Structure 1
Amino acid sequence: MRTRFAIAVLALSTLVLTACGTADQPSTPTGSGGTKSVKLQLQWFVQGQFAGYIAAADKGFYKEQGLDVEILEGGVDIVPQTVLAQGQADFAIAWVPKALASREQGAQITNIGQIFQRSGTYQVSFASSNIKSPADLKGKKVGNWGFGNEFELFAAMTKAGLDPGKDVTLVQQQFDMQGLLRHDIDAAQAMSYNEYAQLLEAKDPATGQLFQPSAFNVLDWQTVGTSMLQDAVWANTGKLSDPSYQDTAVKFLTASIKGWAYCRDNPEECRDLVVKRGSKLGASHQLWQVNEVNKLVWPAPAGAGMIDDAAWKATVDLSMTTKNADGQTVLTKAPEGLAYTNDYVTKALDALKKAGVDVNGASFAPKTVTLTEGGA
């Protein structure tokens, strides 16, 4: 894990060297029909995690705002905030601590919309392992994906008095749950909306039926108190001085939040849109994803996308105190410059409220989703 972490940081350091040259680039070109062409970089492959943006594109919400949005799929080797900083995208979706680490390395980016109000990261183990708290990870084989996905886990271990470099055996986990299912590791990293569902889509050899939640213990960083802000919309800081780009940012957020509101109220249709886009896992899995992601977005008391000062400060504080296996912290100092702003999302929310869109979702109630084997 340490080797891959070092490689990722080295690659990031190399890539962001060009970031400072993007601020003076011309405004986004105009597409066909007078619309403005916009590129959105996702941080992972097409799946329900990004349903709101897919809905905004496929239901015409971006076009209503005069935007022609191209959604760029992410992957293992794609760092969305770097793609943004290099000027290869107009906006990007990235977790806050990862993006802040990139900013400290030189990426000129600003959080303009905190879509996920809550963290969806778990550490999951078989109930028989009796891992009921972060302290119980001591002496265990603990899986994590690296690449900045491990920060909440390390924060939890630090809070429990454990040294991630000495008190546990860290295992580089693949982006699935096979290591846990084979009992190669004792605790595996999982997203509530993805890998956790993969466990419940697998057969229990002892019963021949799908695993039930009772078979597992879940450490939820929201409950533990080491959760960090995740999916946010990031903009190019330098270009935010351009009134045209500012206008595009407001329009992009307006349509995107409308897309998330649509997926809150129409999860099955958004499931279908995601599957149609070419998601790698099937329909029942994608419905689970949309449903679970809705829990991270809604309800939004201050309005979807608003950046909460307290949640931001908690993420920054954890980033400055959480050490990785090599004893290095995520951030060495508090973010400088325009790290985040609510200016553009406030305008977007005002426009949506005037149009009659529910931007708070106070009455949101998640569905009960029935998973099938393999998520088909």
Structure 2
Amino acid sequence: MRSTARRYRFRACLAAAALGLAALTGCSTTDNSSTTTANGLTKVKLQLQWFKQGQFAGYLAALDQGFYKDQGLDVQILDGGTDIVPQTVLAQGQADYAVAWVPKALASRESGAGITDVAQIYQRSGTKQISFKSQNITTAADLKGKKVGNWGYGNEFELFAGMTKAGLNPAKDVTLVQQQFDMNAFLNHDIDAAQAMSYNEYAQVLEVKNPATGKLYSPDDFNLIDWESDGVGMLQDAIWANSAKLKDPKYADQTVKFIAASLKGWAFCRDNLEKCRDITVAAGSTLGASHQEWQINEVNKLIWPSPDGVGTINKAAWDHTVQIAKTTRNQEGQTVLTKDPDADAYTNDYVVKALVMLKAQGVDVTGAGYTPKTVTLTEGGK
């Protein structure tokens, strides 16, 4: 959900840095190397890709429950926002780790950002296309002739891949609508089919009263196209590290510890939904308790079960994401990637070590018996 203009700005920053002009361009090249606190903990900054919410509950829980501290880390979790590109913050040395979607992070990497995916938290895509039942849109082919909303900025490629797979030309067969980061246009019927994350925007429409009934909308009022089920899902939230700093044994060891504590946080949220809801609300989330409980429950579905171990990067899923990013074009005819990323774009080396640590602690790292709960939403997600 970040503008292409920022990618160009990042390229300019890299060029300026190479010429020693960072101070003149406003581009930060600060190397915020980790420092040690008075109590012997190593300071670490994690940059989120959005504001604190259930999407990031595992990190918030790891902080709240002392899992980072147990690993000798004093972690500061930085909010994201509309003007913050987490992978750029990481590449410029303003954070030690970042959470970002794989295709967008790889686009930044192709532009010169020295970042590596070291733990793939979400194993499945949570992107949907939602429509009112009255539109009779149940497949990608049904989008033909419709007003189709999307956020753009690299978030639309599953939608475009799904339409292309169904034989539609996204540039000609639908009317594309630039969608804001809310569901107002959809609820006002200005968009026939809107982009929505299972854990956020979908819940937002279910938290609104149906003017025809005076009751909250229910899932029966809508149709959903699930891009994961449609075969065009792409890898999303992952932990990214600084590629160059991974060559430093201290940073490499820190990375294992950071991953281990973060994964333990996600396992905690799998087993303690209500507690993680409260942690997220207390961390300052802007949406209410029922919305955050829904969000964490839905995020858990994207993570668990993890047969290979939570955080492990599955090569087939990675290759599938890269293929879509290389071959699916947006309305400007651009692809996310122009070539395959190099071998340093991801590694399982650190997450494997982290999983060994967690298994030794008795942590369930696969969630084979995971069963999601049923969450009741309230008006406005309160």
**TM norm structure 2:** 0.95
The answer to whether the aligner puts 1:370 opposite 2:376 as a matched pair is yes
Secondary structure in 1 matching 2:342: coil
Quote the offset at 1:330 in angstroms: 1.1
The answer to whether the aligner puts 1:247 opposite 2:253 as a matched pair is yes
Q: Which moved more, 1:10-19 or 1:183-192?
A: 10-19
Instruction: Identify the match of residue 171 of structure 1 among 141, 160, 177.
Output: 177
The answer to whether the aligner puts 1:11 opposite 2:17 as a matched pair is no
Superposition misfits of 4+ residues, deviation over 6 angstroms? 18-24
Instruction: Identify the match of residue 28 of structure 1 among 16, 29, 34.
Output: 34
Quote the offset at 1:139 in angstroms: 1.4
The answer to whether the aligner puts 1:209 opposite 2:215 as a matched pair is yes
Which residue of 2 is the match for residue 145 of structure 1?
Answer: 151
Which residue of 2 is the match for residue 320 of structure 1?
Answer: 326
Query: 8 Å contact 2:30–2:94 — kept in the other structure?
Result: no
Quote the offset at 1:8 in angstroms: 3.6
Query: What CA distance in whole angstroms lies between the structure 2 residues aligned with 1:352 and 1:230?
Result: 23
Structure 2 vs 1, CA of residues 168 and 11 (structure 1 numbering), >3 Å: closer, same or farther?
farther
Secondary structure in 2 matching 1:227: coil
Query: What CA distance in whole angstroms lies between the structure 2 residues aligned with 1:256 and 1:370?
Result: 27
Q: How does 1:260-271 map to 2 (within 5 A)?
A: 260-271=266-277
The answer to whether the aligner puts 1:300 opposite 2:313 as a matched pair is no
User: CA deviation digits over 1:255-278, x for unaligned, max 9?
Assistant: 000000000000100000000011
Q: How does 1:11-90 map to 2 (within 5 A)?
A: 11-17=9-15, 25=31, 27-90=33-96
The answer to whether the aligner puts 1:121 opposite 2:119 as a matched pair is no
Secondary structure in 1 matching 2:344: coil
Query: What CA distance in whole angstroms lies between the structure 2 residues aligned with 1:299 and 1:198?
Result: 26
Structure 2 vs 1, CA of residues 283 and 13 (structure 1 numbering), >3 Å: closer, same or farther?
same
Secondary structure in 1 matching 2:181: coil
Query: What CA distance in whole angstroms lies between the structure 1 residues aligned with 2:61 and 2:309?
Result: 19
Secondary structure in 1 matching 2:228: helix
Query: 8 Å contact 1:18–1:86 — kept in the other structure?
Result: no
Amino acid paired to 1:13: R
Query: What CA distance in whole angstroms lies between the structure 1 residues aligned with 2:214 and 2:163?
Result: 35
Secondary structure in 1 matching 2:75: strand
Query: What CA distance in whole angstroms lies between the structure 2 residues aligned with 1:187 and 1:338?
Result: 38
Quote the offset at 1:148 in angstroms: 1.5
Query: 8 Å contact 2:30–2:93 — kept in the other structure?
Result: no
Query: What CA distance in whole angstroms lies between the structure 2 residues aligned with 1:43 and 1:183?
Result: 29
Query: What CA distance in whole angstroms lies between the structure 1 residues aligned with 2:127 and 2:105?
Result: 17
Query: 8 Å contact 1:23–1:238 — kept in the other structure?
Result: no
Instruction: Identify the match of residue 289 of structure 2 among 279, 283, 288.
Output: 283
Q: Which runs of 5+ in 2 are unaligned?
A: 21-27
Query: What CA distance in whole angstroms lies between the structure 2 residues aligned with 1:19 and 1:215?
Result: 53
Query: What CA distance in whole angstroms lies between the structure 2 residues aligned with 1:283 and 1:365?
Result: 21
The answer to whether the aligner puts 1:194 opposite 2:200 as a matched pair is yes
Secondary structure in 2 matching 1:70: strand
The answer to whether the aligner puts 1:346 opposite 2:344 as a matched pair is no
Aligned residue pairs, count:
374
Query: 8 Å contact 1:27–1:245 — kept in the other structure?
Result: no
Which residue of 1 is the match for residue 24 of structure 2?
Answer: none
Structure 2 vs 1, CA of residues 6 and 265 (structure 1 numbering), >3 Å: closer, same or farther?
closer
Amino acid paired to 1:78: I
User: CA deviation digits over 1:293-332, x for unaligned, max 9?
Assistant: 0101111001000000100000001111010101111111
Identity of aligned residues (%): 67
Amino acid paired to 1:166: K
Quote the offset at 1:222 in angstroms: 0.8
Query: What CA distance in whole angstroms lies between the structure 2 residues aligned with 1:142 and 1:216?
Result: 15
Secondary structure in 2 matching 1:33: coil
Quote the offset at 1:207 in angstroms: 0.7
Secondary structure in 1 matching 2:154: coil
Query: What CA distance in whole angstroms lies between the structure 2 residues aligned with 1:304 and 1:19?
Result: 37
Structure 2 vs 1, CA of residues 6 and 131 (structure 1 numbering), >3 Å: closer, same or farther?
same
Amino acid paired to 1:153: L
Query: What CA distance in whole angstroms lies between the structure 1 residues aligned with 2:30 and 2:244?
Result: 7
User: CA deviation digits over 1:180-226, x for unaligned, max 9?
Assistant: 10001111110000000011111111111000101111010111110
Query: What CA distance in whole angstroms lies between the structure 1 residues aligned with 2:159 and 2:84?
Result: 22
User: CA deviation digits over 1:332-367, x for unaligned, max 9?
Assistant: 100024000000000000000011000011111100
Query: What CA distance in whole angstroms lies between the structure 1 residues aligned with 2:194 and 2:357?
Result: 42
**TM norm structure 1:** 0.96
Quote the offset at 1:27 in angstroms: 4.2
Q: Which runs of 5+ in 1 are unaligned?
A: none
Quote the offset at 1:11 in angstroms: 2.7
Secondary structure in 1 matching 2:129: strand
Which residue of 2 is the match for residue 259 of structure 1?
Answer: 265
Structure 2 vs 1, CA of residues 291 and 215 (structure 1 numbering), >3 Å: closer, same or farther?
same
Amino acid paired to 1:67: L
Quote the offset at 1:31 in angstroms: 2.0
Amino acid paired to 2:122: F
Secondary structure in 1 matching 2:39: helix
User: CA deviation digits over 1:5-51, x for unaligned, max 9?
Assistant: 54243234334547889999584111231110000000011100000
Structure 2 vs 1, CA of residues 210 and 300 (structure 1 numbering), >3 Å: closer, same or farther?
same
Amino acid paired to 2:45: K
